[in-house]
Amino acid sequence: MRGRGGSRGSRTPSAPWSRLKPVDLDPLESIGLPSKGDNRLLDFKTQERYYTKIVERYMTFCSDAGERDELLRRFASLDISTTPDNGNGVFAARSAADALAPGAASPLSPVAPATIPNSSKGLSDVLSALRKLREGIVASKRADDFAVQAYLFCIRLSVLVKHPESYHPAILHLLRRIQPLHSMTSVEMGEVIGYLVLDTACRRNDLAEAFTMRHRYRLRDAKIDAVLDALAHDNYVEFNRLKKRVDGHKAKLLEFADGNMRKHLLKCFGRAYLGVDLAFLERCADSEWASLTAEDGVGWELDGSKVIIRRAKAR
C-alpha cells in the first residue's frame, strides 16, 4: 500500500506552467553581437530578415512622432554623440529636459534604462541593432546590393543623430571593402564621400585631409566646395548661410564646426569694435544674447540695445 507521500508524488500537477506568461522577446534584442559569440547574423537570410525588422522599427519611430518638429526633437533627445554604448550594442539616451536639469548626470555617464524616454529608446534600439547587423556583414564578408543598402541606412541615420562612432567606420568599410567588390552608383558614392569630407573638415578639424579626400575621390559638389572655402577663410557668416542651404544630413555634420567658427567670429568682433548693436551681433553670430553669454562665454556689457565690447581709454 502506498503512503501518502507516494500518492502525492504520483499526482499530476494542476498545470502550474500554464499560468506563466510567455516570454515577450524584442526581435531586435533577441540577437546578440557577433563579436560576443552570437553567430546567427553570419547567415545572409538572417541578416535580411533582421534588417527588415530594423526598418519596421524605425518607421514606427517616425510615425509615432507625427509632426516633423516632434521627430526632430526626438532625434535631438537621443544624446549619443557624447554617450558611449554599454558594450552590448545598447546606447544610453538622455532627454533634453534631463540634460538641462540641475544636478543632472554628466553627459558621459550612462543613464539607467528606466530613465530613458520611450521616444528615444525606440531610436536607441534601432542604432544598437544596426551595429549588430554591421558586425554580421563584416564577419561574413558580404559585398552585394544588400550590404550597400544596409550600410547606407546606417550611415544616414547615424549622421542624423551625430554619432561618428557609427557612421565613420561604416563609411570607411563601405568605401574600402564593399565598393571595390560591388560598385555603388555615382549618386551613392557622391553622398558618402561628401559625408566623409565634411566630417573630416568639421568634426576632425583637418582641412588639409578634407581637401585631399575631395581630390582623391574626385568629388564634384559646389556646396561642399563652398563650405570648405568658408572654413578655410574662417567666414562664419558664409558658413552659417551654407548650413541652411545644404540638406539635413550635411547640416548635422556642419554643426560640429559651428562652435569654433562662432568663437572665431566673436574674437574678430572683440578686436575690431568698441561696441555694436545687439541685433547686428545676434544676426551675425546666429545666436541670441543669452546663449552667447551662457554658452560662448561672452563677457561684454549690454546697455539697452547696444553691446559695449570695450571702452575707449581716457586720455
Sole residue written with cell 548650413:
243
Closest by CA to 101, choosing from 113, 114, 118, 115, is 115
Lowest mean pLDDT among 36-40, 87-91, 118-122: 87-91
Is residue 50 within 8 Å of 133, Cβ to Cβ? yes
Residue 48 to residue 27: CA distance in whole angstroms: 13
Q: What is the mean pLDDT of the chain?
A: 81
Closest by CA to 227, choosing from 214, 217, 268, is 214
The pLDDT, as a whole number, for residue 63 is: 79
Mean pLDDT value of segment 113-131: 68
Is residue 151 within 8 Å of 134, Cβ to Cβ? yes
The pLDDT, as a whole number, for residue 143 is: 96
> Which pLDDT band, with edges at 50, 70 and 90, does 314 fall under?
low
The pLDDT, as a whole number, for residue 311 is: 84
Give the chain as a 3 state SS string: CCCHHHHHHCCCCCCHHHHCCCCCCCCCCCCCCHHHCCCHHHCHHHHHHHHHHHHHHHHHHHHHHCCHHHHHHHHHHECCCCCCECCCCCECCECHHHHHCCCCCCCCCCCCHHHCCHHHHHHHHHHHHHHHHHHHHHHCCCCCHHHHHHHHHHHHHHHHCCCHHHHHHHHHHHHHHHCCCCCCCHHHHHHHHHHHHHHHHHHCCCHHHHHHHHHHCCCCCHHHHHHHHHHHCCCHHHHHHHHCCCCHHHHHHHHHHHHHHHHHHHHHHHHHCCEEEHHHHHHHHCCCHHHHHHHCCCCCEEECCEEECCCCCCC
The pLDDT, as a whole number, for residue 24 is: 65
pLDDT, tens digit, for every residue of 286-306?
999 999 999 888 999 998 999
Full strand arrangement of the beta sheet holding 301-303? 275-277, 306-308, 301-303
Is residue 167 within 8 Å of 159, Cβ to Cβ? yes
Residue 114 to residue 119: CA distance in whole angstroms: 13
CA 93-99-104 angle, to 5 degrees, is 105
What is the distance of C-alpha 88 from the center of its chain? 18
pLDDT, tens digit, for every residue of 213-260?
999 999 999 999 999 999 999 999 999 999 999 999 999 999 999 999
Asked whether residue 136 carries a pLDDT value surpassing 90, the answer given is yes
pLDDT, tens digit, for every residue of 40-81?
999 999 999 999 999 999 888 877 766 666 666 666 655 444
Task: Give the residue, 97 or 214, on which the prediction is more confident.
Answer: 214
Cβ neighbours of residue 89 closer than 8 Å, sequence gap 6 or more: 32, 33, 128, 129, 131, 132
Task: Give the residue, 116 or 130, on which the prediction is more confident.
Answer: 130
The pLDDT, as a whole number, for residue 11 is: 53
Residue 142 to residue 43: CA distance in whole angstroms: 10
pLDDT, tens digit, for every residue of 166-207?
999 999 999 999 999 999 999 999 999 999 999 999 999 999
The pLDDT, as a whole number, for residue 206 is: 96
The pLDDT, as a whole number, for residue 77 is: 58
Whole-prediction pTM value? 0.77
Which triple of cell numbers denotes residue 176? 574600402
What percent of the chain has a predicted confidence (pLDDT) above 90? 63
Residue 107 to residue 200: CA distance in whole angstroms: 24
